[in-house]
Amino acid sequence: MEHPTHDSQVVVVGAGVAGCQAAYEAAKNDAKVVLLEEHAQVGVPSHCSGVVSLNGLSLLGVELNSTFTQRMIQGAVFNPPKGEPVEVRTKSPVAVIVNRMRFDQYLAKRAVAAGVSLHTKTRVSKFEHHPKGGVGLQVQDGPRYKGEIVIDASGAGSRLPEQAGLRTPDWTQLLPGLQYELAETKKQGDMVELFFGNHRAPGFFAWSIPTGDHSARVGLACRKGNVKKLLDDLVKDYWPKSAVEATKSGSVLVSGPVDKCWSENFLVVGDAAGQVKQTTGGGIVIGGYSGILAGKAAASAAKSPQDQRWKILMQYDQDWRDKFASDLKRMGIAHRVFAGLSDETLNRLFEAVRDYLPEIEEYADMDFQGKIISHMLRKRKFAALLPRVAFDSVKSIFS
Ligand SMILES: Cc1cc2nc3c(=O)[nH]c(=O)nc-3n(C[C@H](O)[C@H](O)[C@H](O)COP(=O)(O)OP(=O)(O)OC[C@H]3O[C@@H](n4cnc5c(N)ncnc54)[C@H](O)[C@@H]3O)c2cc1C
Question: In sequence order, which residues have a C-beta less than 8 Å from that of residue 54 and are 6 or more positions away?
Answer: 64, 93, 94, 95, 96
Are 200 and 284 members of one domain?
no
| Residue 272 CA, ligand 1 centroid: distance in Å | 9
Count of other CB atoms within 10 angstroms of residue 252: 24
Cα separation, 127 vs 314, whole angstroms: 19
| Residue 390 CA, ligand 1 centroid: distance in Å | 33
Q: Which of 12, 35, 49, when mutated, tests ligand 1's pocket best, judged by the most ligand atoms within 8 Å of its CB?
A: 49
Look up the pTM and report it.
0.94
- Domain that includes residue 216, residue range: 68-98+174-253
The answer to whether residue 221 is domain-embedded is: yes
| Residue 16 CA, ligand 1 centroid: distance in Å | 6
Are 207 and 289 members of one domain?
no
Q: Which of 96, 218, 284, when mutated, tests ligand 1's pocket best, judged by the most ligand atoms within 8 Å of its CB?
A: 284
Are 245 and 385 members of one domain?
no
The answer to whether residue 265 is domain-embedded is: yes
Number of domains in the chain: 3
| Residue 155 CA, ligand 1 centroid: distance in Å | 5
Are 107 and 143 members of one domain?
yes
Are 186 and 111 members of one domain?
no
Q: Are 203 and 346 in contact (CB under 8 A)?
A: no
Q: Residue 159 maps to which CATH number?
A: 3.50.50.60
Q: Which residues' Cβ are closer than 6 Å to ligand 1?
A: 13-19, 36-39, 47-52, 123-124, 153-155, 177, 179, 219, 250-252, 270-272, 276, 281-285, 287
| Residue 33 CA, ligand 1 centroid: distance in Å | 21
DSSP 4: P
Q: What is the pLDDT of residue 374?
A: 81
Q: Residue 210 maps to which CATH number?
A: 3.30.9.10
Which residue has the CA at smallest separation from atom 29 of ligand 1? Answer: 16
Are 353 and 369 members of one domain?
yes
Are 270 and 305 members of one domain?
yes
| Residue 141 CA, ligand 1 centroid: distance in Å | 24
The answer to whether residue 22 is domain-embedded is: yes
Cα separation, 329 vs 370, whole angstroms: 8
Cα separation, 138 vs 298, whole angstroms: 20
Question: In sequence order, which residues have a C-beta less than 8 Å from that of residue 234 and are 6 or more positions away?
Answer: 195, 200, 206, 218, 220
- Tens digit of pLDDT at every position of the chain (399 positions): 667 788 999 999 999 999 999 999 999 999 999 999 999 999 999 999 999 999 999 999 999 999 999 999 999 999 999 989 999 998 899 999 999 999 999 999 999 999 999 999 999 999 999 877 889 999 988 889 999 999 999 999 999 999 999 999 999 999 999 999 999 999 999 999 999 999 999 999 999 999 999 999 999 999 999 999 999 999 999 999 999 999 999 999 999 999 999 999 999 999 999 999 999 999 999 999 999 999 999 999 999 999 999 999 999 999 999 999 999 999 999 898 888 899 999 999 899 888 888 888 877 888 888 778 888 878 888 778 877 877 777 776 666
Q: What is the pLDDT of residue 360?
A: 83
The answer to whether residue 218 is domain-embedded is: yes
The residue out of 253, 279, 295 marking a domain boundary is: 253
The residue out of 219, 253, 287 marking a domain boundary is: 253
Are 40 and 114 members of one domain?
yes
| Residue 348 CA, ligand 1 centroid: distance in Å | 34
Q: Are 147 and 7 in contact (CB under 8 A)?
A: yes
The answer to whether residue 117 is domain-embedded is: yes
Q: What is the pLDDT of residue 1?
A: 61
Q: Which of 25, 97, 106, 154, when mutated, tests ligand 1's pocket best, judged by the most ligand atoms within 8 Å of its CB?
A: 154
Are 89 and 135 members of one domain?
no
Atom of ligand 1 nearest to the CA of 251: 53
Cα separation, 261 vs 274, whole angstroms: 10
The residue out of 253, 281, 306 marking a domain boundary is: 253
Assess whether the previous peptide bond of 85 is cis (omega < 30° from 0): no
The answer to whether residue 54 is domain-embedded is: no
Question: In sequence order, which residues have a C-beta less than 8 Å from that of residue 378 and are 6 or more positions away?
Answer: none
Are 157 and 288 members of one domain?
yes
The answer to whether residue 56 is domain-embedded is: no
The answer to whether residue 62 is domain-embedded is: no
Are 244 and 379 members of one domain?
no
Are 299 and 371 members of one domain?
no
> Going edge to edge, which strands form the sheet with 144-147?
5-7, 144-147, 135-139, 124-129
**Pairing relationship of beta strands 144-147 and 5-7 according to DSSP bridges:** parallel
| Residue 331 CA, ligand 1 centroid: distance in Å | 20
Which residue has the CA at smallest separation from atom 26 of ligand 1? Answer: 270
Cα separation, 179 vs 232, whole angstroms: 10
